[in-house]
Amino acid sequence: MSRLVVASQLPELFNSVFAQHVVDAEIIAVPPGLHAPLPNDAKVLVAAPFRKAGGVLPAEPPKGWPFDVEWVQLVSVGIDFYPDWLFDGPVVTSARGSSAVALAEFALAAILAEAKRLPEIWIDKAERWAPQPLKLISGATLGLVGFGAIGEALAPRAQALGLNVIATRRSDKPISTPGVERVADLKTLFARSDHVVLAAPATPETRKLIGRDVLAAAKPGLHLINIARGALIDDQALLEALDDGRVTRASLDVTHPEPLG
């Protein structure tokens, strides 16, 4: 019986770990993108993003695609860094949920850092020290834009710290996490929230989803956290909201473009 051949665009270190867990397969390293044919008999492609944020995706597949590939496993959760034609052939699966807990913890860390004024406390010059006001997160309201794997991981952790959690979700699927209130629209969510976490996918429909109209409805002093994609925010509108105090802090794990110039 022949071994399963996997063409992997992961770095060498990841491939070595991968091989330890998939002992019945032959892992062959290939460069990112599809600029050359894949190894003969490769049935699985582990695909890295085809572009960095802001880059251009190839409009056409390479000659011979999909070769012998029957399954494409994306290494990322989002699919916006891959060309459309990749999804028209073999079965494609993503890494949905793989980073949910890590990103939920990042969002909680950002909430605590804002509430406890950690950037102001972490000083490198003695003359910059100044007393900081105490601020509780217990009793505050956390708004989640998108309620997928990240929202499911974040909501109970936030509730354990005393935060009230509300959420919007584009699908009709019910929110099953106990105690999470579903709200009808973004403006309502922003008007009620002390902290908002963006955890929605990047699609043509969500591009600049957070614009002037949504930010104008925000509760004064809002803390905005983006752990999704930079394209969800209208950057100019956010700068204006920061300048006028409607938003007091923006914790951005992602930007558009990346990196910032």
CATH code, domain carrying 28 = 3.40.50.720
Residue bearing the bigger pLDDT, 217 or 258: 217
106/79: higher pLDDT: 106
At residue 108, the pLDDT reads 98
| Any domain includes 261 | no
Residue 259 lies in a domain: no
Most confident of 2-6, 48-52, 247-251: 247-251
pLDDT at residue number 134? 79
pLDDT at 125 over 70: no
143 and 78 fall within a common domain: no
Residue where a domain terminates, one of 38, 69, 93: 93
215 within a domain of the structure (yes/no): yes
Across the chain, mean pLDDT equals 91
Q: What percent of the chain has pLDDT over 90?
A: 66
Q: 116 with 86, same domain?
A: no
Among 32-36, 62-66, 245-249, name the most confident range.
245-249
In terms of domains, do 86 and 152 share one?
Answer: no
Comparing 59 with 222, which gets the higher pLDDT? Answer: 222
- Do 31 and 82 reside in the same domain of the chain? yes
Do 32 and 141 sit in the same domain of this protein? Answer: no
Which has the minimum average pLDDT: 57-61, 63-67, 195-199, 245-249? Answer: 57-61
pLDDT for the residue 54: 56
Same domain for 126 and 218, yes or no, is yes
Pairwise pLDDT comparison (238 vs 60), residue with the higher score? 238
- Do both 143 and 211 map to the same domain? yes
**Residue of 132, 152, 119, 158 whose CA lies nearest to 251:** 119
The answer to whether residue 202 is domain-embedded is yes
The reply to whether 257 falls in a domain is: no
CB of 4 closer than 8 Å to CB of 42: no
Is there a domain that residue 201 lies in?
yes
Q: Identify whether residues 58 and 147 lie together within a single domain.
A: no
- Are residues 58 and 122 both part of a single domain? no
Give me the pLDDT at residue 140, please. Answer: 98
Q: Are residues 116 and 205 in the same domain?
A: yes
Which residues span the domain enclosing 216? Answer: 100-252
Domain endpoint, select from 47, 74, 93? 93
d(CA 12, CA 107): 30
**216 and 118 in a common domain:** yes
pLDDT of 53: 53
Query: Which residue did the predictor score with more confidence, 254 or 159?
Result: 159
- Full-model pTM: 0.84
Tell whether 129 and 58 lie within a shared domain.
Answer: no
In sequence order, what DSSP letters do the residues of the chain get, joined into one string?
-PPEEEEE-S-HHHHHHHHHH-TTEEEEE--SS-SSPPPTTEEEEEEPPSS-TT----SSPPTTTTTT--EEEESSS--TTS-GGGGGSSEEE--TTTTHHHHHHHHHHHHHHHHTTHHHHS-SSGGG---------TT-EEEEE--SHHHHHHHHHHHHTT-EEEEE-SSS----STTPEE-S-HHHHHHH-SEEEE-----TTTTT-B-HHHHHTSPTTEEEEE-S-GGGB-HHHHHHHHHHTSEEEEEES--SSSS--
When divided into structural domains, the chain yields a total of 2
When pLDDT is cut at 50, 70 and 90, the band that residue 227 belongs to is very high
Which of 93, 128, 144 delimits the end of a domain? 93
